[in-house]
Structure 1
Amino acid sequence: MRIVMATQNPHKVREFAEIFGGRVELAPLPSGLPKAPETGETFLENARQKALFYAAHVEDPVLADDSGLVVPVLGGEPGVRSARYAGEGADDRANIDKLIRALRSKGVREAEAWFACALVVARKDRVIMEVEARVDGLVHDEPRGDGGFGYDPLFSPRGESRRFAEMSAEEKHRFSHRARAVRELLARLPAPDATEWV
């Protein structure tokens, strides 16, 4: 089965492809499509918006994710604005720097946090499936590691001293919010010839 991911971020497509392990053929969005709205107040609302928006532009089913880091001591920031925390078009470094400043302004070196992931699969004008998952851990005020992307240098999952950015892809997939969501999605995904896809 071929599914189009609602992103042109090659890091994200590669990470999802690794997690899917060949059970689904993933393709990035075609270039030139307009940007989907992301005006929801939750990860699930944003994923649903993106999935339905792009499903109207491509023939194959669309998989959209919305994921991010939630830090309760910061009032839930960066939350649904994780990718845009330091402003529209901000890169990972700018977002990380802003988060570090926010933590230090509260006088904390590390704080409880979680990564959340919502996945929505849509075809044409219909949602086929929705799943959500999260991984709890700590966010730190100093980055470590060279792997991963986003806030991975700042986050260690519960029971681990290493950050996501210090783990191999296989190690990270044992813990990550995306891997948990994909495993649930795969367990519930209709067969390629099921009527849900029509």
Structure 2
Amino acid sequence: MELCFATNNLHKLAEIQDLMGAEFRLLTLEDIGCFEDIPETQPTIAANSHQKAEYIWEHFGANAFADDTGLEVYALDNEPGVYSARYAGPQRDANDNIEHLWHRLAETGKTLPSPARFVTIITLVHRGKYYQFEGIMEGSIIAKKRGTNGFGYDPVFLPLGHSRTFAEMSREEKGQLSHRAKAFEKLVEFLKQSPLE
């Protein structure tokens, strides 16, 4: 089955192709002729995910799925949430975002590590019908960056029950337990159990 994955993030694309397996062929945005920025203007992770999938269906007529992920830090009333990628500004710089996160936590007087979770919502659109799948990974934000793999907040996110950050894990290791992996496992299970015509 061919599906467009609505992202320009090559790290995500590689992770998800590993998870999806050979029976699914992922098309990139470039493959379907989409070169514009897909809007992400909704106030929640779920709504952003739906907006991106809907954009692909309505503008390109392609069966597609889109994900949106947010880091939710409990001490900050679930910030940065839907604004995770641009928490420190429109430059979307991971290092800036981490520094801003530490600054915000310091303002609250909370000590690190600080409990947090990653949430991923995937929206699948197939012939105009929409389906959503959620994945959650509990953990904590630590006070020092560790590791060089992954992206985003991975160097400061310590998954619950593990002694290494996401950035200290290989792509394969992270792919077995991450929030994104959990959501995509639900998507793949749905696709295999409910074959779409």
Answer yes or no: is the 8 Å Cα contact 2:116–2:140 preserved in 1. yes
What whole-Å deviation, never above 9, does each CA across 1:19-47 have from its counterpart, x for those lacking one?
Answer: 21223111221265332332322211110
Give the TM-score taking structure 1 as reference length: 0.90
Answering whether residue 13 of structure 2 is matched by residue 13 of structure 1, we say yes
Moved over 4 A (4+): 190-193
1:104-119 to 2 correspondences below 5 Å: 104-107=106-109, 108-119=111-122
Greater mean alpha carbon deviation, residues 57-66 or residues 185-194: 185-194
Structure 1 spans left out of the alignment, 5+ residues: none
Answering whether residue 132 of structure 2 is matched by residue 138 of structure 1, we say no
Give the TM-score taking structure 2 as reference length: 0.90
Greater mean alpha carbon deviation, residues 139-148 or residues 98-107: 98-107
Q: Report the CA distance shift for 1:52/1:104 in structure 2 as closer, same or farther (over 3 A).
A: same
Answer yes or no: is the 8 Å Cα contact 1:136–1:157 preserved in 2. yes
Structure 2 spans left out of the alignment, 5+ residues: none
Answer yes or no: is the 8 Å Cα contact 2:139–2:160 preserved in 1. yes
Q: Return the alpha-carbon distance in structure 2 between the equivalents of residues 90 and 174 of structure 1.
A: 26
Q: What is the RMSD of the two structures over their aligned residues, measured on CA atoms?
A: 1.9
Q: Return the alpha-carbon distance in structure 2 between the equivalents of residues 40 and 60 of structure 1.
A: 22
Q: Return the alpha-carbon distance in structure 2 between the equivalents of residues 190 and 20 of structure 1.
A: 11
Q: Return the alpha-carbon distance in structure 2 between the equivalents of residues 18 and 25 of structure 1.
A: 11
Q: What fraction of aligned residue pairs are identical, expressed as a percent? A: 38
In the alignment, which of 163, 184, 190 is matched to residue 182 of structure 1? 184
Letter in 1 for 2:115: E
Tell me the number of residue pairs that the alignment of Structure 1 and Structure 2 aligns: 194
